[in-house]
Chains A and B, each alone.
Chain A
Amino acid sequence: MRFRWRGLALHAVLVLALLVFLFPFVWTIIMATNTTADIYRFPPKFSFGGHFFDNVRHVLDNVAFFQSMANTAVVAISTTLLVLFFDSLAAFTFAKFRFPGRNALFVILLATMLLPAQLAAVPQFQTMALLGWVGSLKALIIPGAANAFGIFWMRQYFRSSIHDELVEAATLDGCGFFGTYWHVALPSARPALAFLGIFTFVGSWNDYMWPLIVLTNPDHVTLQVALSTLNRAHGVDYSMVMTGALLAMIPLVIVFAVFARQFIKGATEGAVRG
């Protein structure tokens, strides 16, 4: 009997936490489907309303929302694909092969993780100016196309999940280095790739300071910048802003929902054990 009670109490706490975590999303939807006047009264309105499409129209009147969402999607998808490819390739090399300078290179890689990249924003901006990339989406995609965290993460995964015999067998079958990577390493690393992919996608989707600085061309703003513009407009209409916020979150939630299982597996499996 006592055991049962403990289980119930446990789930009560866990469910409570779940509600706390999910509440902002529910409240965002409530705000996005009501008018500002409905939100700003006491006691506040706790039910969904029918003003969602009016609010969407207001959002579209104020910022080029879909254009900026398309820009963000282009940036996030290309960055993610490049990161998955470059990082897993480098990680596989680090995990399964020996070559001169390997350890030194790996130490350098780890050290770079400590450097706060956003603090070098001024010269980074200069570099972009020299390359003529200011205002273009390239300035967001290329610098983030490979990162130390991903290589570190994937390496841990490859080390614990791919047996050396498998690599040897593939080599004996006539697969070259790249063939082994493509046919053996990648397919077996799906959960880790899902984790890294979502992690990168979300990070890129949410990047704020750098696009704020480098995307000077008004036709090329990203969603986060457009959202903050919406929020700054004079005489802010909150239900409109929250509608924008809701629209900005939907793609992320969809991507996460699709890959959630793989992702959780990747996050909990082996990765931190290394």
Chain B
Amino acid sequence: MSATAAVRTRAVAGAPARRRVWSYWRFYLALSPFYVLFAVFGLYPMLSTIVLAFQRWDGLSARKFTGLDNFAFLVRDPTFWQALENTVVLFLMSTVPTLVIALLLAVMLQSAVRFTSVYRIAYFIPNVTSLVAMAIFFSSIFSTNFGLVNAALRSLGIPQQDWLGQPWGIKIAISTMIVWQWVGYNTLIYLAGLQAIPKEQYEAAKVDGAGPVRTLFSITLPQLRPVILFTVIMSTIGGLQTFTEPQVMVGNSGGTGQSGMTVVLFFYRAAFLDNDYGYAAAIALSIFLLVLLFTAINWRVFRGRGEDR
């Protein structure tokens, strides 16, 4: 790759090998919008979040440096631990089914001959819909006396459940919505990955007499590993930031026993409802560490084994 790139550069600029950095200004200008925006609206706020995490501030009076107070309080705040647990449980309850279903659908879609584009478009539609509208929709179908889910249960002779009033019911409702929304997206990504696997590998497996299950485990999954890593990381980043679904479905308090309280909702409350900005910053930093930790774990699980590339 580097050889062709060198040719290209010469072709475009037609300049000698050693030039001043400034002569590349067009490229830097082309890249600048992202970096400038990031510096102003990304980097600077994050740096001040770090500073803020060591301060106490209500948004009105002067800021006070309080050292590690915010963190000391955070580790002893039962609501924080609960929010953490909720977030991880919700993440597992939604991401695992999403990715498994998406993978199965992708494998099936690839072996189906007809109507594949109809399926693909239809599967993706949940992802291009209004999130708040769908959160309202899901809270209505899970409502106690008049919800569709309970109507279905009753017609099967099963007693109705108070879905959005029960700690586990809240989690089921929220993760159902996330699964519904993200299966199609991940199916498309997996399908792209599947199409990139060379056909010869499958033919060779067929010659060896491997059945569909063995083919799945010996060829499809290993070949798909980087794509799976990509989807797992994207789901981790998204899943650990769940906010809209619980906020719309059970409100700012997080519902019964705060079982819909996610870390981002906890953060939002501390900052914009309680005006406890320093504490909110400390929460934000902890969530960031959590995301890093999860990403690192994912990386090890999906990439670290055997061949490092």
Contacts and interface: CB of A to CB of B under 8 A. Distances in A.
Interface of A: 7, 10-11, 13-14, 17-18, 20-22, 24-25, 27-28, 31, 39-44, 86-87, 89-90, 92-94, 96-101, 105, 108-109, 112-124, 126-127, 142-143, 145-148, 151, 164, 167-168, 171-172, 176-178, 180-181, 198, 202, 205-206, 208-209, 213, 223-224, 227-228, 231, 238, 241-242, 244-246, 248-249, 252-253, 255-256, 260-261, 263-264, 267-273
7 contacts: A18-B122, A41-B146, A90-B30, A119-B287, A126-B48, A242-B140, A252-B128
Nearest to A92: B30
A253 B280 CA distance: 36
B33 A90 contact: yes
B108 A13 contact: yes
B272 A206 contact: no
Interface string B185-209: 0001101110110000000000000
Of A13, A21, A177, most B-chain CB atoms within 10 Å: A21
Contacts of A249: 129-130, 133
Given A18-B123, A252-B129, A42 B154 contact: yes
Given A14-B105, A17-B105, A231-B136, A202 B127 contact: yes
B61 interface: no
A159 to B, nearest CB: 9
Contact of A148 (B34, B118, B191, B226): B34
Contacts of A7: 112-113
B123 A17 contact: yes
Nearest to A94: B31
Given A11-B112, A27-B148, A116-B291, A224 B141 contact: no
A94 B35 CA distance: 13
Contacts of A227: 130, 132-133, 136
Interface in B2-42: 4-9, 11-12, 21, 24, 26-28, 30-31, 33-35, 37-38, 40-42
A127 B52 CA distance: 14
Nearest to A39: B146
A264 B120 contact: yes
B71 interface: no
A164 B155 CA distance: 64
Interface in B235-291: 237, 240-241, 243-244, 247-248, 264, 267-268, 271-272, 277, 280-281, 284-285, 287-288, 291
B122 A122 contact: no
A255 B130 CA distance: 13
A169 B75 CA distance: 61
For the residues of B in contact with A, the DSSP-based class is: helix
A148 B234 CA distance: 13
Contacts of B146: 39-42, 44
B288 A272 contact: no
Interface of B: 4-9, 11-12, 21, 24, 26-28, 30-31, 33-35, 37-38, 40-42, 44-46, 48-49, 52, 105, 108-109, 111-115, 117-134, 136-138, 140-141, 145-146, 148, 151, 154-155, 180, 183-184, 188-189, 191-193, 195-196, 226-227, 230, 237, 240-241, 243-244, 247-248, 264, 267-268, 271-272, 277, 280-281, 284-285, 287-288, 291-292, 295
B121 A93 contact: no
A242 B27 contact: no
A202 B33 contact: no
Given A208-B131, A249-B129, A271 B122 contact: no
Nearest to B284: A119
A121 B271 contact: yes
B42 A117 contact: yes
Contacts of A260: 121, 124
A176 B11 CA distance: 11
B162 to A, nearest CB: 16
A123 B33 CA distance: 20
A122 B46 contact: no
Contacts of A270: 192
B34 A109 contact: yes
A127 B192 contact: no
